[in-house]
């Protein structure tokens, strides 16, 4: 068994879609990034890469590579799953936190879990996604950005 931690943050800006956990969420702003800037999916991918000890998101999908411009992060997760599977591991469990003052994430959490469960070939009981605000404090509390954290346990198959 191996454990990894992932963290990601992106700035909120106008004229971008807000995509979190592969779900397009209605909001007046979206996240700025080279790909779709999906902070939750990025944190999960980084946690898996950490558990596998194979680097990080930037080393596998550099923001200097045009083929990842506006990339769908769920496609990046598919690559991550294939690598994990090739190395002989499967998901034990993942636990994630989205840190955002707004919008409210609760209506979208189940769809996010379903997206991850399907791609990572794991039962939904192995995935936990929760959301919190920072009570108006910090950059997320001031609605300047959204962050996400994830811890992942992988098991030898």
Cα→Cα distances 77→74, 97, 157, Å? 5, 17, 19
Q: At what angle do helices 109-119 and 39-52 cross, to 10 degrees?
A: 40
Check the annotation: does 51 bind a ligand: no
Q: Binding site annotation covers 9?
A: yes
Per-position pLDDT tens, the chain of length 157: 999 999 999 999 999 999 999 999 999 999 999 999 999 999 999 999 999 999 999 999 988 888 888 899 999 999 999 999 999 999 999 999 999 999 999 999 999 999 999 999 999 999 999 999 999 899 999 999 999 999 999 999 9
Q: Does the annotation flag 8 for ligand binding?
A: yes
The reply to whether 65 sits in an annotated binding site is yes
The answer to whether 29 is a known ligand-binding residue is no
Q: Is 107 annotated as a binding residue?
A: no
Is pTM beyond 0.85? Reply is yes
Between CA 59 and CA 50 the distance in angstroms is 12
Using CA atoms, how far apart are residues 155 and 146, in angstroms rounded to an integer?
30
Is 157 annotated as a binding-site member? no
Q: Binding site annotation covers 97?
A: no
| Residue 83 DSSP SS3 | helix
Q: How many helices (H) and strands (E) does the chain have?
A: 5, 7
Q: Which residue has the tokens 């990339």?
A: 71
The answer to the question of whether 134 is labelled as a binding residue is: yes
Burial of 119 (0-12, 13-18, 19+ CB in 10 A): buried
The annotation status of 101 as a binding-site residue, yes or no, is yes
Buried b / exposed e along 30-44 (16+ C-beta atoms within 10 A): bbebbbbbbbbbbbb
């Amino acid at each position: 068994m191996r454990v990894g931690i992932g963290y990601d943050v992106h700035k909120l800006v106008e004229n971008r879609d807000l995509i979190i956990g592969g779900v397009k969420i209605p909001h007046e702003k979206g996240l700025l990034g080279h790909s779709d800037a999906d902070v939750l999916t990025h944190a999960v991918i980084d946690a898996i890469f950490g558990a596998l000890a194979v680097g990080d998101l930037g080393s596998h999908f550099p923001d200097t590579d045009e083929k990842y411009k506006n990339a769908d992060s769920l496609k990046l997760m598919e690559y991550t799953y294939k690598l994990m599977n090739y190395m002989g591991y499967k998901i034990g469990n993942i636990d994630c936190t989205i840190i955002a003052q707004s919008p409210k994430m609760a209506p979208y959490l189940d769809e996010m879990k379903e997206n991850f469960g399907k791609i990572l070939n794991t039962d939904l009981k192995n995935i936990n996604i929760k959301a919190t605000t920072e009570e108006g404090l910090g950059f997320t509390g001031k609605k300047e950005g959204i962050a996400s954290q994830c811890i992942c346990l992988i098991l030898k198959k």
